[in-house]
Structure 1
């Protein structure tokens, strides 16, 4: 399932609810070309791995969250399990995204 995050409280609440499920946070911007290209692939990933949660954070709407995670380029994907960041990377690399999800699901 792909879920839009509205603000920091929303993210904190959803991360707490996620428990030990893998969470993938997609930090994106509406003006970002690579972000637009990978968005449909995220939906496919959510269909393939139904036990993961994908959260989308618009860096322009949620600057506080982007700063907290030190986001400097888009898209950046942050992988979280049990409220702990496992890893993160930047760039619209679907193969790398899928591999990390597969290894941590």
Structure 2
């Protein structure tokens, strides 16, 4: 799983969605549900070949929360062809699995 720490890395990740489904977890260190969802998201990332998984701390790349209208955390964004095509909000990783299954 890739860690996105700059706006430039985020732009590169979004560009990759022209070739592959990209799933990005946006989180904050202080977020309890984010911490609880982390091991399961790691597990999911190991289950799906051909899907790019990444995570971004919104405290490091502050513009991301505003740019992607993040209203709760964790938020999982799915990108295809350079666009957000779906999102799952909160620590329910089953919703993330369903999103991936629908889009892959």
Residue by residue over 1:11-69, the C-alpha shift from the partner in whole angstroms, topping out at 9 and shown as x without a partner, is 11122134231111111011111101111111111111021111111011111111101
CA distance in structure 2 between the partners assigned to 1:24 and 1:4 by the alignment: 12
Counterparts of residues 66-85 of structure 1 (less than 5 Å): 66-85=65-84
The number of aligned residues is 104
Gaps of 5+ in 1: none
Counterparts of residues 45-84 of structure 1 (less than 5 Å): 45-84=44-83
Q: Which residue of 2 aligns with 1:98?
A: 97
Q: Which residue of 1 aligns with 2:30?
A: 31
CA distance in structure 2 between the partners assigned to 1:7 and 1:66 by the alignment: 13
When normalised by structure 2's length, the TM-score is 0.92
CA distance in structure 1 between the partners assigned to 2:24 and 2:36 by the alignment: 16
Q: Which residue of 1 aligns with 2:6?
A: 7
Question: Runs of 4+ in structure 1 displaced over 4 angstroms?
Answer: none
Gaps of 5+ in 2: none
When normalised by structure 1's length, the TM-score is 0.91
